[in-house]
Structure 1
Amino acid sequence: MTSTTTPEPQTPEPQTPEASDPVRIDSPVMRVVKQFVEDPVAVFGLVLFIAIAFVAIAAPWLAPQNPYDLAQLDIMDGGLPPGGTSFSGQVYWLGTDQQGRDMISAIMYGLRVSLLVASVSLGLAITIGTIVGVTAAYFGGRLDSLIMRVVDLQLSFPAILIALILLALLGRGVEKVILALVIVQWAYYARTVRSSAIVERRKDYIDAAKCLALTNRRIMFRHLLPNCVPPLIVVATVQIAQAIALEATLSFLGVGVPITEPSLGLLIANGYDYLLSGRYWISMFPGVALVLTIIAINLVGDRLRDVLNPRLQK
């Protein structure tokens, strides 16, 4: 008789991850960053905007002079062309204006005021628009209809027209320009947040939060609002460029910041009367700085729109 032996069952050895297979951490933030840096044009725009913002913030330390300190100005240096040399031997690489102000220093200080006005008005407008939009979407009904009618009424008028009327009533000043820009821009954020919040309000996690007897404020701002942030970021990047351009337009028209404050719009306006005399640099170089700033912000905003919108993903 031949005895047959059955093979003993072999337990599989535990597999250890190899050193060549790293652990992948794929968070939403890292996904956005990874997709953003894949576009070299957007990266260039981001680097350019960071450089412009750094120059504006560090203007008191980087600028060759304070263009609005009368003790540092010399009327004899007025109207020097790019690369011109003053009586003291100082070289002005971008020239001077009619009052003897160094154009490089004036542009640095002008960027400082323009970015300050745009960023402060952006923060206030986002705050007001977000609260209004989430409230309208969450409660709905007559409150939603009333808020949206006000938003539609404001958006039906050009932003520059509303800002001109407000500044004609309020007068000139940096804080008044900020107030006018907040009133002009809040409706964009209110409509954007409301559109996203209406979709999120119908999902199960909102019903679950209501079943847990959470307060309306906690549901709105702890659960509903965080899911409305991606489209809000895209709108914010576009609106900050529009705010910079709008402030420059208002200052150019003479209803924005006062003449004692540096601004890109004021610098362009100061050289407008001297274009026919051949002093092009007084308006041209501030205009180039304004265009570069807006282009850099738009490049970043376009890429963020593509990354944060799932419908635009390849």
Structure 2
Amino acid sequence: MSVTDAGAVNATVRRPAAQTPFQRFVADYTESRLATIAFILLIATMVLALIAPWIVPQNPYDLAQVDIMDSRLKPGTPASSGKYTHWLGTDGAGRDLVSAMLYGLRISLAVGVMSGLIAMALGAAIGLVAAYVGGRTESLIMRIVDLQLSFPAILVALMLIAILGKGVDKIIIALVTVQWAYYARTVRGSALVESRKEYVEAARCLGLSNARILFGHILPNCLPPLIVVVTVQTAHAISLEATLSFLGVGLPQTEPSLGLLISNGFQYMLSGEYWISFFPGLVLLMTIVVINLVGDQLRDVLNPRLSK
């Protein structure tokens, strides 16, 4: 074997193995240390919210576990029972703030995720139909989308909550009504590009049904921008729900959320009992920020042309 052949063999041996698409995605995503930390914090937040009933010292909405004598205790004050310490203090009803925040975080995340998924399914289907059918149908759908987006989201949500009433299911309906248009416009724009490509024409020539072409061929190629919109709109839904609950028109007192906890402590701010609103507000801010950071990095990875 010549020296040239030996060098070629060694170069072949040293060549790294080809990465799978998932490995490339992980490598691109972890290039941003801030986005990686945000993703870890988001997963930790979701896990803490899921296991809250098993790790918190009390169920803050079980009257048998709440002592009114513990009302508005400062952070680090032991409970009247002496079994645990209120590390972040208590609110006006004597509820442990750590327990109340984790229970509230469960509701806030559930409302944001559920409304985001339902709005995504509805908006994606409408956007696909508009792009694929075209003509007057597309014009009518897009005029409805434009009309929906012309109104402030908080105003539409307030009107719907006033009609439907309070409750988790009612606020999810309101948020879906507010959000679906964003998904419809995003999917319609991507589907217009995809529907003019050769593989769609080939699928039509093969006699595939419109539903199979739409959901089996066009929709998978519209997923990258759709995933980014999901993260942004989930954070938007959480902030909207918190705003509605803070105003007293969102969730009832028996179904806690971070916005409701902030509202409950707002009346005590001037008396110096800041912790009742401050810590739930901090958790809400952190949750929205980490979701947006994850969405920004997903956008850069899925569409490198938009990255800086």
Q: Give the TM interval when normalised to the shorter protein.
A: over 0.9
Partner of 2:182: 188
The CA distance in 2 between the partners of 1:111 and 1:94, in whole Å, is: 16
CA distances 1:77-105 after superposition (whole Å, capped 9, x unpaired): 11100011233223211001111100000
Residue type of the alignment partner of 2:174:
A
Partner of 1:65: 58
Q: Structure 1 or 2: larger helix share?
A: 2
Equivalent of residue 271 in structure 1, options 265, 271, 278: 265
Residue type of the alignment partner of 1:180:
A
Equivalent of residue 32 in structure 1, options 1, 6, 25: 25
Partner of 2:88: 94
The CA distance in 2 between the partners of 1:239 and 1:248, in whole Å, is: 14
CA distances 1:251-270 after superposition (whole Å, capped 9, x unpaired): 00111111111110100000
**What RMSD in Å do the two structures reach over aligned CA positions?**
1.5
Q: Given the alignment of the two structures, is residue 82 of structure 1 paired with residue 82 of structure 2, yes or no?
A: no
Partner of 1:304: 298
Q: Based on CA coordinates, which of the two structures has the bigger radius of gyration?
A: 1
Q: What secondary structure is seen at the aligned counterpart in 1 of 2:58?
A: coil
Shift of 1:156: 0.2
Matched ranges for 1:1-314 at <5 A: 18-27=12-21, 29-89=22-82, 90-313=84-307
The CA distance in 2 between the partners of 1:33 and 1:110, in whole Å, is: 31
Shift of 1:61: 0.5
TM-score with structure 2 length normalisation? 0.95
CA distances 1:173-211 after superposition (whole Å, capped 9, x unpaired): 110000000000000000000000001111111111111
The CA distance in 2 between the partners of 1:118 and 1:206, in whole Å, is: 34
Partner of 1:8: none
The CA distance in 1 between the partners of 2:188 and 2:246, in whole Å, is: 35
Shift of 1:295: 0.7
Shift of 1:30: 2.8
Shift of 1:76: 0.6
The CA distance in 2 between the partners of 1:313 and 1:292, in whole Å, is: 23
Q: What secondary structure is seen at the aligned counterpart in 2 of 1:81?
A: coil
CA distances 1:237-287 after superposition (whole Å, capped 9, x unpaired): 101000000000000011111111111010000001111111110000000
Q: State the aligned residue count.
A: 301
The CA distance in 2 between the partners of 1:91 and 1:83, in whole Å, is: 6
Shift of 1:312: 2.6
Residue type of the alignment partner of 1:62:
I
- Where do 5+ consecutive residues of structure 2 fail to align? none
TM-score with structure 1 length normalisation? 0.93
The CA distance in 1 between the partners of 2:304 and 2:19, in whole Å, is: 20
CA distances 1:213-236 after superposition (whole Å, capped 9, x unpaired): 111111111111110000001111
Shift of 1:307: 1.2
Residue type of the alignment partner of 1:147:
I
Partner of 1:7: none
Shift of 1:313: 4.9
CA distances 1:51-90 after superposition (whole Å, capped 9, x unpaired): 1101101111011110000000111111100011233223
Q: More displaced, 17-26 or 230-239?
A: 17-26
Residue type of the alignment partner of 1:233:
I
Residue type of the alignment partner of 2:226:
L
